Each structure stands twice: as C-alpha cells, then as structure tokens.
Amino acid sequence: MTVLTVAEHRRGELRPVSLELLSVGRLLAEETGDEHHTVVIGGDVETFGRKLDREGVETVYTVDEGEEFNHDVYVQAVTQLAEALDPSLVVMPNTVNGLDYAPAVASDLGLPLVTDVVDVDYGERLTATRELYGSKTETTIDVHAEAAALTVRPGEWPAAEGVNGSSVEPFEVDVDESAVRSTVTGFEEVGGGDVDITDADVLVSVGRGIGEEENLDLVFDLAEALDATVSASRPLIDNGWLEKDRQVGQSGKVVTPDVYIAVGISGAVQHVAGMKGADTIVAINTDPNAPIFDIADYGIVDDLFDVVPALIEEFGG
Amino acid sequence: MKILVTVKQVAVVDDEFEIDGLGIDDRYVTHDLNEWDEYAVEEAVQIQEAADEDVEVVTVTVGPEESEETIRQALAKGADRAVRVWDDTLVEAGLLDPATKARVVEAVAAEEDPDLVLTGVQSADDGFGATGVTLAERLGFEWAAVVNDLELDREAGVAAVHRELEGGIEELADVQLPAVLTIQTGINDPRYASLRGIRQAQSKELAVKSLEDVGLSPADIESPLEQTSLYEPTSESDATVFEGSAEETAGELAAVLREAGVAN
Ligand SMILES: Cc1cc2nc3c(=O)[nH]c(=O)nc-3n(C[C@H](O)[C@H](O)[C@H](O)COP(=O)(O)OP(=O)(O)OC[C@H]3O[C@@H](n4cnc5c(N)ncnc54)[C@H](O)[C@@H]3O)c2cc1C
C-alpha cells in the first residue's frame, strides 16, 4: 500500500501547500508503514519534480498534461495513478483548486472523503480532526474504510525539508478528451482601488460585527486617530461597503503590519490566512470564544461600540 | 430551463455554549439559511428574471422539519417550489458526509432533471465544502467550484464562470452544461424577502419526501465516517485580555499601542 499526495502549482510556481502535504504524507506513511509517493500534474513538471524531492518521498510522479490546473485532467490523472498504486490514503490540498477536484476523485475511486483536516492520526484506522461551527469546536472523525481520501488545511503542517534522492518518474495518463468539458480561458487579478493595505504599518480591520455601513465612520475615525489604514474581512466587501483591495484573507490580501486591530472579526480560517503574520494582533470582540483570540496578543471582550469610542478618546480623536 | 438550488439550514452557535455529547446543547443553537446558499438562491432567481425563456427554480434540502422555516425564506426570495428529503434513517445516520448528502440530492436531481444546479461553496457549520462537486461527479455533470461570476450562454450550452482563487486571482473558465456550480459569497447582492414574497411563499409547494420516495434505501446512505468526539479546542492563545469597563480596557490597550509606536 502507499500514501499518495498531490502537489499544487499556479502560474509557474509550486504552491507552499505542496511541501506541507509532503509532511502529512510522510507522517501517515510512517504510521501506516506504507511508501509515500507524490504526484505533480501539469506545468513545468521537471522543475516541480525536483523541488518535490524531499525526505520520506519514495517517488515523485510527473504527469505532463497541460500548463495550468484543469480539474477534468486532474481527476483523470489522480484516479489513474491511484488505480496503479492502490493507495490507502490520497492526500490533497484543501485549497480552492483542491476543492474543485478532490471530491470528484474520491467519488470516482469510491473512497470516503474528509475535507479541511487539521490533524491526522493513524492507529487501526484513519482518525481525522476537523473544525465544526466556524472553529468554535473541534471534532474527531473515524474513517471506517480500508482506504480514504482527505484534503488538508494549508498552513497546519511545516514544509517538508531535505533533499532525498527520490526517483522522479513520468506517469503517462490516458486523457479521455471527451471527459474534458471545462476549459480555463485565463486569469484576472482583482483589486484596482488606490489603497495599499499591504504597505500599512498599522491596520484597523473591521468585520461583520460593525453591523451597518453607517457605522464604518467609527472605524475610519479610529484609523485617523491612530494614523492607520482601514482594512476589512470579506463580508463587508461582499456587501459592497468597501473596495475589494481592502479585503484581508485567503482570497484577499496577505498583510504583515506591525499592529493589526481586528474589530468585530471572528477570525475564520480564510481571514486568518491573510493576517497571522502581523507582529502584534489586537482583537475587540464580544464573543470570548471567537477564534481570533487564539492568535491575538491582546484582547478586549466587549462591545466595539463601547470600546472603539473610548479608544478614539484616548488618542484625542 | 430548470435550476436546482441546494438550500441548507445551518446551526449557529451562541457566544457561550455547552457541549452535550457529540453536539451542542440545543439551548445554545439557533438556525439560519446557510450564507453561501443565500447567494446561490439569489443567483438562480436573477437568472430567472433575466431569461427570455421560462426558468423554474426549485430548491432541494436534506434536512428535518425545522428547516422549513429556512426553505420558506428561499421561496420568499423567489424560488418557485421546494423539495425536502428526510426520514428516520437519515436521523440515525448521524454525521452526513458529503457523499451521503450528494447521494440524496442526486436522487432528487434525477427526478427533476435540471439544466443547472447551484450549491453554496460550503456550509457554515460543518464546512465540508465538497457536496457540490461530489454531486456533479455522481450526476455526470460538469462543474466549477467557488464561482463568483457567472454568465450563461444557453445557445452554446456553456456557463462562463470566474473561480475565485487565493490571493486576489480569479480563474476564467468555460463549463459545459448541464453543470453544478458552487457559489461564492459576493457573486451578487442577495435581496431581502419582500412582504409580498413572504406571503406568497406560504402557498408555494414544499414537497416532503422520504428516502424511499426518491428511490433510495437505507443501504444507500451508510456513511463510513463516524464522529467520535466534539470538544472546545484547547486555546493556544497567550493573549493578554484586558478586563474592566470600556474606558479601562481602552486605556490599557492605548498604553500598549503607544508602546508599540502607534500614533506617536
Ligand atoms: C473560499 C473562501 C474564501 C474566503 N476568503 C476570505 C477572505 O479572503 N477574507 C475573509 O475575511 N473571509 C474570507 N472568507 C469568509 C470567511 O469564511 C468568513 O465568512 C469571514 O471571514 C467572516 O467575517 P467576519 O469575521 O467579519 O464575520 P463573522 O464571522 O460574522 O464575525 C463577526 C464577529 O463580530 C463579533 N461582533 C458582533 N457584534 C459585535 C460588537 N458589537 N462588538 C464586538 N464584536 C462584535 C461577533 O462576535 C463575531 O465574532 C472566505 C470563505 C471561503 C469559503
């Protein structure tokens, strides 16, 4: 049996999650006593193949099909490789593209699928840890099956290190073109406003806790008093209250200010992905269980409509 | 044309709560229409309003009777009718994994024969994010996950979509119909249900079906996943939490911020 991990790349770059997956694969292979193989599909597979040669990897399979991600091709490639290797575990990234092919792979192979896994353990069988109710709770899931597919959350495991001398082997996939019914036609960068939140030393970041668009004035007042820039979580951008280039997070911007003040933001994983690198994180939130407090350095559990005006007062606003 | 939209009622947990076995004690849970599904319903209704052909929007829910309140919300926003599947077997099944949910929706889709299926990207409570694509594969439909822009070309049988990738990049893709699209928030501006809509929703058809009614047997929904625990994660937080009145906490925070060089 084997553990198979699937790498991810975009626009010529291997994405960091690919190396994190190798750590998960290695751990699982040690626990199951299996070999760990990884595969990279499309793009500059030779270069990617060399980069995926890390400790614990037995073979890096390269599938030279297409430049960019196409889920119809990925599904066929992973399925065919899995049929050849008969893996006990197929490990894929819980990224936007991962979620675009992993469920289909699991379904085709008849494997149970556990997504967004934050921890794994393999005793008699696979036990996966995932979050429930927006990170307020964690749950363990036992998988009663010989083999399983899982997608793992980016950023939870360290990148695999070392150069190992894994063999890099091409794997020929017999692509059924009639099953390729989606075509990627291009990419587009979003943004286009004139605020650069990635450049700010201090960010006052506002979330859904602000309630109404009118209340945003309060946050801009605080930002002015602190000589800071206003950024936001996604719902405010979805509502059209602020420009897209102020969005912090997985699908927004990654920011690394000296100080990040999260006002009425719960700290969903996709938000945290964009701001966990801030030096000092401050959270103001009425919910003491909000996940934002897990990464905050300083916290106030209180109504922002009481705290923010008091803070503005402090700074003479 | 027919559009099938999956609608889920999700559990929203209070700020303070207690765990009761493998769930949250009912006292701390309220229910709401899944945020991502709300955008999916809106998208379907907008397609209906813009089309020059007849478009029927049907919602499908795998869920208990309580979810009818949520389903009526979707009907009030313009869906034409609803199907809800539930019975004791599903209650006993425990954790409904994406494959199980997709299996049930697939059975409804087989009856309804839609041209397009819209689902939310994920549900706010269990966050599997996999039901839509699993469903597509089972139906033999094409699909796209995390769609934040959609343009239908009925003549060509193509949905031109934007998929929102990480880091502010969107992928543009053409997807052949019939397709399942998983809808991301922000794709549109969901409407509030009008009073008239709410009134009309009461008289719209909401068909309740058992597994048997949709041609499934208990064996079809045996999930290999078993939830074995539920707990509050031990906080790795080393946050300094200021206590006191807003003036006091703001004062302490201000001192820290000044120390960090803010507004100096
Ligand atoms: C594929 C994908 C990509 C995503 N990308 C991003 C992204 O890039 N960025 C992003 O932010 N999100 C993103 N999301 C959405 C994310 O999952 C969350 O929905 C979002 O981050 C929640 O924003 P929020 O914290 O402002 O709102 P909520 O989760 O609703 O939290 C509001 C918080 O405000 C608090 N609050 C309420 N009232 C008050 C008050 N009076 N005083 C103080 N506190 C109060 C509440 O306790 C709560 O914690 C993405 C989701 C998906 C599926």
Q: What tokens were used for A83?
A: 């049929």
- Which atom, in ligand 1's list, is nearest to the CA of A267? 25
Among candidate residues B95, B105, B1, the one with its CA nearest the CA of residue B60: B105
Among candidate residues A47, A45, A54, the one with its CA nearest the CA of residue A77: A45
B200 touches chain A (CB under 8 A): no
Place of tokens 């079809």: B220
The DSSP element (H or E) to which B197 belongs, if any, is: helix B195-203
- SS3 of B106-169: the string is HHHHHHHCCCEEEEECCCCCCCCCCHHHHHHHHHCCEEEEEEEEEEEECCCCEEEEEEECHHHE
Residues of chain B positioned with their CB less than 8 A from the CB of A134: 13, 124-125, 127
Which residue has the CA at smallest separation from atom 9 of ligand 1? A249
Among candidate residues A302, A271, A297, the one with its CA nearest the CA of residue A285: A302
pLDDT of A107 higher than 80:
yes
- Cβ atoms A57, A168 nearer than 8 A: no
pLDDT tens sequence across B74-106: 999 999 999 999 999 998 888 899 999 999 999
Answer whether A254 sits within 8 Å of B167, measured CB to CB: yes
B232-B235-B236-B237 Cα dihedral, nearest 10 degrees: 150
- Determine what percent of chain A is predicted with pLDDT higher than 90: 94
pLDDT of A317 higher than 80:
no
Beta bridge partners of B181: B118, B144
pLDDT tens sequence across A240-261: 999 999 999 999 999 999 999 9
Q: Which residue ranges have their beta carbon within 6 Å of ligand 1?
A: A 96, 207-209, 233-235, 247-252, 264-266, 268, 270-271, 274, 284-287, 290, 303-305; B 121-122, 146
State the DSSP string of B70-86.
Answer: HHHHHHHTT--EEEEE-
- pLDDT-based confidence at A190, cuts 50/70/90? confident
pLDDT tens sequence across A22-63: 999 999 999 999 999 999 999 999 999 999 999 999 999 999
Mean pLDDT of B161-175: 96
Confidence (pLDDT) at B263: 86
Q: How far is residue A134 from each of residues A131, B56, B119, B125, B143, measured CA to CA in Å?
A: 7, 33, 19, 6, 26
Smallest Cα distance from A167 to chain B, Å = 31
pLDDT tens sequence across B100-154: 999 999 999 999 999 999 999 999 999 999 999 999 999 999 999 999 999 999 9
Mean pLDDT of B171-192: 97
What SS3 state is found at B20?
strand
Sign of the alpha-carbon dihedral angle for B141, B169, A249, A234: negative
- pLDDT-based confidence at B235, cuts 50/70/90? confident
Confidence (pLDDT) at B234: 82
Kindly give the interhelix angle for B131-139 and A98-109, rounded to the nearest 10 degrees.
Answer: 50
Q: What span, in angstroms and rounded, lies between the C-alpha atoms of A55 and A182?
A: 36
pTM of the complete model: 0.97
Q: What span, in angstroms and rounded, lies between the C-alpha atoms of B85 and B214?
A: 8
Confidence (pLDDT) at A122: 94
B186 touches chain A (CB under 8 A): yes
Confidence (pLDDT) at A59: 97
- Determine what percent of chain B is predicted with pLDDT higher than 90: 94
Q: What span, in angstroms and rounded, lies between the C-alpha atoms of B109 and B2?
A: 11
Beta carbon pairs, A and B, within 8 Å: 273
Alpha helices, DSSP H only, in chain A? 17-32, 45-51, 71-85, 98-109, 216-226, 234-238, 269-272, 292-295, 304-314
Confidence (pLDDT) at A135: 87
pLDDT of A192 higher than 90:
no
Q: Would strands B142-153 and B158-164 be described as parallel, antiparallel, or unpaired?
A: antiparallel
A215 φ, ψ (degrees, to nearest 5): -70, -10
Mean pLDDT of A282-298: 96
Mean pLDDT of A110-135: 95
Confidence (pLDDT) at A191: 74
Q: A149 alpha carbon to ligand 1 midpoint, in Å?
A: 29
A145-A147-A153-A157 Cα dihedral, nearest 10 degrees: 110
Residues of chain B positioned with their CB less than 8 A from the CB of A113: 97-99, 130, 134
A286 touches chain B (CB under 8 A): yes
- pLDDT-based confidence at A100, cuts 50/70/90? very high
- As for the ipTM of the complex, it is 0.96
Local structure of residue A145 (DSSP, 8 states): S
Q: What span, in angstroms and rounded, lies between the C-alpha atoms of A253 and B166?
A: 9
Confidence (pLDDT) at A164: 80
A192 touches chain B (CB under 8 A): no
State the DSSP string of B43-75.
Answer: HHHHHHHH-SS--EEEEEEE--GGGHHHHHHHH
Q: What is the pLDDT of chain A when averaged over all its residues? A: 96
pLDDT tens sequence across A138-177: 999 999 999 999 999 999 999 999 888 889 999 999 999 9
Q: What is the pLDDT of chain B when averaged over all its residues? A: 96
What SS3 state is found at B221?
helix
Mean pLDDT of A305-317: 94
Smallest Cα distance from A100 to chain B, Å = 5
What SS3 state is found at A70?
coil
Mean pLDDT of B149-162: 97
- Determine what percent of chain A is predicted with pLDDT higher than 70: 99
